[in-house]
Amino acid sequence: MLLDSLPSNLLTDQAPEKYLVAVVFNRRAEPEEVDFLTGTGVSDRLRSAGYPDVELNVVNRRLEISNTTLEELRDGLSVAIAQELSGVEQEFERERVARNAQFRKDVDAETKRAEAVQLLAQSITFDPARVETLI
């Protein structure tokens, strides 16, 4: 969590009711992951979990959680967000595995095709003596 991003007047009478909390990811999120986290599905699930005003945004390596408080995060919102992060990680890992498997399949098919072309090309000769055997 980026403490510098928190309002300076927290735990005072002037503290805002809700504010932005920024959390640092351990890596830069992929564009598809950003779309997932900021999409309506996650918002709907957070709303259903009792967090109707919370908004997620991804900026560089930060997850910005708007319209929340540290207390709300401590009391369950962090678990709900962690479940979403885990879900997106698992979903995109499955997609990566499927893409890699398809890539390997495509490479194997291309290798076999190239070998077949090479064998066919090697079977061709321009030997005039062969003309008689073809007639």
Is 63 in contact with 22 (CB distance < 8 Å)?
Answer: yes
CA distances from 10 to 3, 14, 19, 71 (A): 11, 8, 10, 11
How do the domains of the chain map onto residue ranges?
3-124
CA distances from 115 to 108, 118, 124 (A): 11, 5, 15
Give residue-wise pLDDT tens across range 14-55.
Answer: 999 999 999 999 888 888 889 889 989 999 999 999 999 999
Q: What is the pLDDT of residue 129?
A: 75
> Can you give the three-state secondary structure of the chain, one letter per residue?
CCHHHCCCCCCCCCCCCCEEEEEECCCCCCHHHHHHHCCHHHHHHHHHCCCCCCEEEEECCEEEEEEECHHHHHHHHHHHHHHHHHHHHHHHHHHHHHHHHHHHHHHHHHHHHHHHHHHHHHCCCCCCCHHHHHC
Q: What is the pLDDT of residue 114?
A: 95
Average pLDDT over residues 114-130: 88
Give residue-wise pLDDT tens across range 45-82.
Answer: 999 999 999 999 999 899 999 999 999 999 999 999 99
Reading the block at residue 82, the tokens are 């962690």
pTM, rounded to two decimals: 0.68
Residue 58 CA to residue 56 CA, distance in Å, equals 7
